[in-house]
Amino acid sequence: SQTIHQWPATLVQPVGSPLSLECTVEGTSNPNLYWYRQAAGRGLQLLFYSVGIGQISSEVPQNLSASRPQDRQFILSSKKLLLSDSGFYLCAFNRDRPTNEQFFGPGTRLTVL
Amino acid sequence: AQKVTQAQTEISVVEKEDVTLDCVYETRDTTYYLFWYKQPPSGELVFLIRRNSFDEQNEISGRYSWNFQKSTSSFNFTITASQVVDSAVYFCALSDGNAGKSTFGDGTTLTVKP
């Protein structure tokens, strides 16, 4: 079966510190991968997506970057966190075809102080 | 550009009431895909349904039903005989099928009281 993992589950970081969130998918190959951010009480904002190893598309200019070093690994990073980076970060993948629904990981709740 | 509007920010009902969650979308694409997701308090989004733009058949799954109307660009979701376990945030989403990117609405928080 196909599963998606994210860690850590929660994170509290000071302003200006680096960030690395990891997402891995099991049970599928060459998935499309996505990073979303959900601000409190708001919908999901697509940050990055990837259709293959090393292929990253950014949807919004920001303080974050993404990398896909392996087929089923997607990493969200920042060199220096801002207060506005606080939020709930969700990783997702498409199963089979891009037109299909997305399956989401459990999320990481990031608080920047 | 695509846009999804969920005008109802919060809805509160009493158990066993029927409730409809509204979703209105905007797109210039002739082929697109609509989705509903449920986000329980745990935070993980759960897929509920997908609809293709060329398939306007309504769908029923147990207590859940969906009404897709292209003429009004709406994709509404009805829960019949609501239960406390239905309490969650519900998101409507739109995809053009391009790399599977989806645009999400802001969500509707549904509270079902016993």
Distances (CA, A) of A34 to A77, B2, B28, B31: 14, 18, 23, 21
Backbone angles phi, psi at A52, to 5 degrees: -175, 170
The number of residues in chain A equals 113
According to the model, what pLDDT value does residue B56 have?
83
Burial annotation A37-62 (CB, 10 A radius, 16+ → b, else e):
bbeeeebbbbbbbbbeeeebeeeeee
State residue A96's pLDDT score.
66
Rounded to whole angstroms, the Cα distance separating A62 from B62 reads 42
pLDDT at A62 (0 to 100) = 78
Residue B85 is classified by DSSP as: G
Beta bridge partners of B113: B14
Smallest Cα distance from A101 to chain B, Å: 7
* Closest-CA residue to B112 (of B50, B38, B34): B38
Categorize the per-residue pLDDT at A17 as very low, low, confident or very high, splitting at 50, 70 and 90.
Answer: very high
Residues of A in contact with B104 (CB under 8 A): 36, 43-45
**Residues of A at the B interface (Cβ-Cβ below 8 Å)?**
32, 34, 36, 41-46, 49, 51, 57, 59, 88, 90, 92, 94, 97-107, 109
Contact A101 B91 (CB under 8 A): no
pLDDT digits (tens, 9 = 90+) for B24-51: 999 998 889 999 999 998 889 999 999 9
> pLDDT tens for residues B46-97?
999 999 898 888 888 899 999 999 999 999 999 999 999 999 999 999 998 7
* Both tokens assigned to B25: 């979308």
Q: CA A37, CA A88: separation in Å to the nearest integer?
A: 6
What integer pLDDT is reported at residue A107 of this predicted model? Answer: 95
For chain B, the first-to-last Cα distance in angstroms comes to 41
Using one digit for the tens of pLDDT, what is the confidence trace for A75-106? 999 999 999 999 999 999 987 676 778 999 99
